[in-house]
Every structure is written in C-alpha cells, then in structure tokens.
C-alpha cells in the first residue's frame, strides 16, 4: 500500500487471539499496519512477543517490541502498592490503559508516521453528530465488554483509537483466528493481574518491597478483638473466604485501619452504602457536569449498572447517590457512568459514606 498515512495503524499486539484478530481486520480494512508488543515486565519470558511476531509474519506486517518495563513499574506497579498500603483496592488495568497503552502507543504511532492505534479491546467508538464529541460505547458482546476499563480515554485519544472487535462476539473472533491458522486461536484469556500470576497480592508486595506485613487484630464493630489476621493489606472489603474466624454466623471484611493494622468484620448488612465520593474524573460524552445527572453506574467491572444520581461537588469531585444501597463499594476502584450503551465518564472512588446504625458488635 506504500506510505499512505491516511490509512495507517499501530496494532497493539499482546500475543493473544483478540489483538491478532484486530490486526487482520485492520489490514482487511485497507490500513497499512505496524505490529508492536509492549514489554511491561522485566521477568517477561518473551512468549507473548513470539506469538505476536508469528501472527505478524503470517499477515506480512512489520513487528517491534517496545521495552516499557521501567515506565510500567513507575506508573502501575508502584501505584498498585501505594493504594493497597493506604487501605484501598487499586485497579491496575485502568491505570495501564491510562498511563501506558494509549498514551505511549499514540506517541509511538506519531514517531512511526501512523495515524491511529488499534487494539483487541471489546468496545466501540463513534462520534455524536449533534455535539461533535467522540463517544466510547459498550461492545456488542456484553459478556466481554471492556468499556469500564477504558473510561479514561480523552477526546484526542478516542479520535485516533480503533476497536475492530467491538461489533463481534468472542466466539466469532476465535472462529476467525482458527480459519486464519493462528496458533493462538484457542489460547485462554488470562484472569490474573499481569504482574501477579496466581493472584497472591500480599506475597507479591512483600517480595517487591522487602516489607513483611505484620499480623494484627480482627475486630468486631464494637472494637473487640475476635481473632488475628495475616496483615491488613491481604484483605479486601466484602471478603468472606480465608478469614479463619469462627463467629457462629458469616462475617465479612467491612473496614480496615492501616495505621492500627486492624481489620473490622461484621455482617453482610454492614457492607451496604448509598453514597460515594468520586474524584479524578474524565468526562467523555459531555464536557463536564453543572448539575445533577441521572445515570447508570458500575463500581466493579462485572457489576450490572445501578441507577444513581451523579451530583457535582466542590474540588472537581462528584457524589453518587444510588437508588438502592450498594454492596462493598471500595475506595481505589473505578466508578463509571453510563447512559444506555454510552460511557458518560468516570473516576476513582475515594470515600464511601455509610449511614450510622446501631452497633451490635456483629
């Protein structure tokens, strides 16, 4: 195709089936393509890059590896640890999309004279004819939709991002990859945080920081010690399994005091709250908020959206007031606001405002 910059794309190649299918679809659409794998971990064994290189060779497109391990450590891993140590539960996939994938890949696209970046994410982008704003929308395949993790995309980024799989189901993507003879067609999707295979966050943080997180007291809601925990960073709000407590009834983690190294447990009813404060906002479908807005909100990626009123607060925050109390809303996670299939915007949960209730210990 020559050097037609008007139809050129950097393809983010993870080595998996989704990004491989995305590369093929962009090529079929007439784009001059350049494949690239981001090396984010110093311990990377090179398998993902080898799989991506194999696909690019099959498609006849050039391929490069971008060594971004230092930047990833600063932007994602260190923040992950800071948030856990402060008592929150971080969302590293959101941070990776915000700080690494799209900002760095668009910089590389500019360096190589390419007009857009394409990835294997399940989401859609279009432009609102009335407002002229670019919109992020849910994928056709609701079970694979990744719009929750992409809410930080800016107007400038959305104008240059392509999601070729947004109108496809995962089944169709695998069938396409098989028909093309891709060796990764049946490769299973990873469910772990990429830098913590196996999911043991506590062990990872101890190994990374050289700090041993000390045991401390489990407390009931009156402040009475009811057992010993293995380090407060190892527990998340709403957790029931792995507490090792015999209380005569089910109990859940409903609070942590990192300074005192205590974990408070209580009944499931103690996990519910209606009001949440959110900051670090990014608005997509609208420029900002000048009054209360009705929306559907997710506070976890796999959650069904919940009806809420989004109210502007001082300091650029918003207060979410849910129609129904929500379970285990967790500081550090993302709250993403939807209007139908359209992502209105989102931000980081910083505080959960619980109604006072009578204390009965449990």
The residues that are catalytic are 96, 194
How far apart are alpha carbons 324 and 187 in whole angstroms? Answer: 40
CB atoms near residue 288 (< 10 Å): 9
Q: Which of 265, 259, 270 is nearest to 236 (CA)?
A: 265
Q: Cα–Cα distance between 38 and 102 in angstroms, integer?
A: 11
Burial of 350 from C-beta contacts in 10 A (0-12 / 13-18 / 19+): middle
Q: Which of 323, 276, 317 is nearest to 295 (CA)?
A: 323
Q: Is the dihedral of CA 145, 146, 152, 155 positive or negative?
A: negative
DSSP H or E run through 280: strand 272-283
- CA 119, CA 109: separation in Å to the nearest integer? 13
**Structure-block tokens of residue 323:** 């129609």
CB 203 within 8 A of CB 195: no
Helix (H, G, I), strand (E, B) or coil at 290: coil
348 - beta bridge partners? 279, 334
CA torsion through residues 202, 207, 211, 216, sign: positive
β-bridge pairing 161-162 and 116-118: parallel
Instruction: For residues 94 and 152, give the distance between their C-alpha atoms in angstroms, rounded to a whole number.
Output: 8
Query: Mind giving me the DSSP string for 182-206?
Result: -TTTTPPPP-S-TTSTT--HHHHHH
d(CA 202, CA 234): 5
């Amino acid at each position: 195709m020559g050097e037609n910059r008007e139809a050129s794309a950097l393809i983010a190649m993870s080595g998996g089936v989704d990004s491989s299918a995305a590369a093929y679809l962009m090529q079929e659409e007439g784009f001059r393509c350049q494949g690239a794998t981001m090396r984010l971990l110093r311990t990377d064994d090179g398998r993902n890059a080898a799989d991506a290189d194999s696909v690019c060779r099959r498609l006849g497109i050039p391929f490069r590896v971008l060594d971004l391990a230092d930047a990833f450590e600063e932007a994602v891993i260190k923040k992950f640890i800071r948030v856990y140590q402060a008592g929150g539960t971080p969302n590293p996939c959101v941070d990776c999309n915000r700080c690494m994938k799209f900002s760095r890949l668009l910089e590389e696209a500019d360096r190589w004279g390419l007009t857009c970046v394409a990835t294997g994410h399940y989401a859609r982008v279009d432009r609102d004819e009335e407002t002229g704003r670019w919109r992020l929308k849910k994928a056709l395949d609701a079970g694979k939709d990744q719009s929750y993790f992409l809410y930080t995309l800016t107007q400038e980024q959305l104008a240059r991002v392509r999601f070729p799989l947004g109108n496809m189901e995962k089944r169709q993507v695998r069938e396409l990859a098989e028909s093309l003879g891709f060796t990764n067609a049946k490769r299973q999707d990873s469910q772990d945080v990429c830098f913590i295979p196996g999911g043991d966050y506590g062990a990872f943080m101890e190994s990374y920081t050289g700090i041993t997180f000390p045991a401390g007291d489990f407390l009931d809601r009156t402040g009475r010690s009811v057992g010993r925990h293995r380090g407060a960073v190892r527990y998340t709000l709403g957790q029931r399994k792995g507490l090792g407590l015999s209380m005569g009834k089910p109990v859940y983690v409903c609070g942590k005091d990192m300074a005192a190294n205590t974990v408070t447990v209580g009944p499931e009813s103690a996990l519910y709250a209606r009001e949440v404060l959110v900051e670090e906002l990014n608005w997509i479908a609208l420029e900002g908020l000048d009054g209360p807005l009705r929306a559907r909100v997710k506070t976890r990626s796999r959650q069904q959206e919940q009806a809420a009123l989004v109210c502007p607060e001082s300091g650029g925050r918003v207060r979410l007031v849910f129609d129904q109390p929500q379970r285990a809303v967790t500081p550090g996670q993302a709250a993403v606001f939807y209007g139908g299939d359209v992502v209105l915007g989102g931000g980081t949960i910083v505080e959960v405002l619980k109604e006072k209730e009578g204390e009965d210990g449990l």
